[in-house]
């Protein structure tokens, strides 16, 4: 077996019995190909019932969540998400004029700031759409006041696609194209198979499956709208081993937080993992503009930690909000790994700063 940490999945944790994962939310739900497909559907569903001219989005988000609003001719304004005293601060103006408020609970750690903002704007008749991708397996996956919530499951698993939408209201036709984007799914499945063989020690050129993953993303960028996830992916979603996903992530994240809290060259964005929290990643602030050199060093150790997110042409940032993108690194803590792997991450980070 090759030893590397992070990057794309190559396996899906499954159980024999159906998990009925989303029944506890007691809301109407529909499944889609991807998170942006789900968001595009939500926007169309909302616009069919009432006019939506302006949406209020966080400055810190993925470009793929901005694009569906632009594709549906909705004007965007952004509230600031920035670093203050090594904390992620969310600054929303309740007097701002908008029709739709978009919120994210970052990395699965519940943030009371957002809860308070939602309570303020909800009585004003604003629609609340919550991106629950990061908080999907945290006890409070989304705010009870949210009119709509959605989440991508691919970020948590080795599924080639899959996202879900929830609403208290009846949802209209879930997708104009019931079958998934087959070209996209086939590319990702082929890439997963090759990566699995690579991890298992076969002489597979890494660039081959990395290119396939990249080509799949290019397909989705061009053609993401109107797709369901397909019955096969839906079955896999309903048989995810949620207990293992939660347990391993909580254990791994707690270990990273404990071991890195005294490292003076980084700051943990969240200092501890509560029992009801299930982290997507463990985000750290890397001081003195050392984020990119640290990431490059970790890659040399076969540790692949993502950046959330790349800045795109559709982002609207200022010096303060751009700082989040420049100094944050997401440490891997998922269910593929154990304490030995987390120790490798900790040791590599400490080694990098000791060399200075």
CB atoms within 10 A of CB 156: 24
pTM attached to this predicted model: 0.95
End-to-end CA distance of the chain: 33
Q: Which is nearest to 101 in space by CA: 87, 120, 83, 88?
A: 120
Contact between 115 and 143 (Cβ < 8 Å): yes
pLDDT in tens, the chain (356 residues): 788 999 999 999 999 888 776 665 667 888 999 999 999 999 999 998 889 999 999 999 999 999 999 999 999 999 999 999 888 999 988 789 999 999 999 999 887 777 888 888 888 888 999 999 999 999 888 887 889 999 999 999 999 999 999 988 877 655 566 678 999 999 999 999 999 999 999 999 999 999 999 999 999 999 999 999 988 998 999 899 999 999 999 999 999 999 999 999 999 999 999 989 999 999 999 999 999 999 999 999 999 999 999 999 999 999 999 999 999 999 999 999 999 999 999 999 999 999 86
**How far is CA 187 from its chain centroid?**
21
Give the position of tokens 């900790």. Answer: 346
Residue 26: its pLDDT value, please?
65
∠ CA 138-143-146, nearest 5°, is 135
Residue 141: its pLDDT value, please?
82
Please name the residues in contact with 44: beta carbons below 8 A apart, sequence gap of 6 or more. 72
Using only C-alpha atoms, the chain has a radius of gyration, in whole angstroms, of 20
Cα separation, 146 vs 239, whole angstroms: 27
Contact between 100 and 46 (Cβ < 8 Å): yes
Does residue 309 have a cis bond before it (omega within 30 degrees)?
Answer: yes
Phi, then psi, of 301 in degrees rounded to 5: -95, 15
Residue 120: its pLDDT value, please?
80
Give the position of tokens 């600031």. Answer: 80
Residue 19: its pLDDT value, please?
74
Residue 145: its pLDDT value, please?
84
């Amino acid at each position: 077996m090759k030893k590397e940490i992070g990057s794309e999945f190559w396996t899906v944790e499954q159980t024999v019995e159906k998990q009925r994962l989303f029944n506890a939310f007691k809301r109407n739900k529909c499944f889609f190909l991807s998170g942006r497909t789900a968001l595009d559907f939500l926007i169309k569903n909302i616009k069919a019932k009432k006019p939506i001219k302006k949406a209020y989005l966080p400055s810190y988000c993925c470009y793929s969540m901005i694009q569906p609003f632009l594709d549906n001719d909705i004007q965007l304004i952004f509230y600031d998400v920035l670093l203050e005293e090594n904390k992620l601060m969310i600054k929303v103006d309740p007097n701002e004029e908008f029709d739709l408020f978009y919120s994210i609970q970052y990395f699965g750690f519940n943030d009371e700031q957002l809860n308070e903002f939602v309570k303020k704007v909800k009585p004003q008749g604003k629609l609340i759409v919550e991106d629950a991708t990061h908080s999907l397996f945290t006890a409070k996956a989304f705010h009870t006041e949210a009119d709509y919530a959605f989440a991508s499951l691919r970020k948590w698993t080795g599924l080639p696609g899959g996202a879900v939408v929830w609403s208290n209201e009846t949802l209209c036709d879930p997708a104009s194209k019931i079958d998934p984007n087959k070209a996209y799914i086939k590319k990702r499945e082929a890439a997963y198979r090759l990566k699995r063989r690579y991890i298992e020690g076969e002489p597979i050129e890494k660039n081959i499956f990395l290119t396939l993953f990249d080509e799949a993303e290019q397909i989705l960028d061009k053609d993401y709208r109107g797709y369901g996830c397909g019955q096969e992916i839906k079955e896999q979603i309903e048989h995810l081993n949620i207990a293992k996903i939660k347990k391993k992530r909580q254990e791994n994240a707690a270990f990273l937080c404990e071991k890195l809290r005294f490292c003076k060259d980084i700051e943990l964005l969240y200092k501890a993992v509560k029992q009801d929290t299930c982290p997507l990643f463990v985000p750290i602030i890397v001081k003195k503009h050392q984020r990119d050199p640290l990431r490059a060093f970790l890659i040399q150790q076969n540790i692949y930690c993502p950046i959330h997110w790349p800045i795109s042409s559709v982002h609207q940032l200022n010096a303060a909000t751009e700082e989040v993108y420049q100094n944050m690194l997401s440490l891997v803590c998922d269910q593929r790994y154990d304490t030995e792997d987390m120790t490798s991450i900790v040791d590599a980070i400490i080694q990098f700063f000791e060399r200075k």
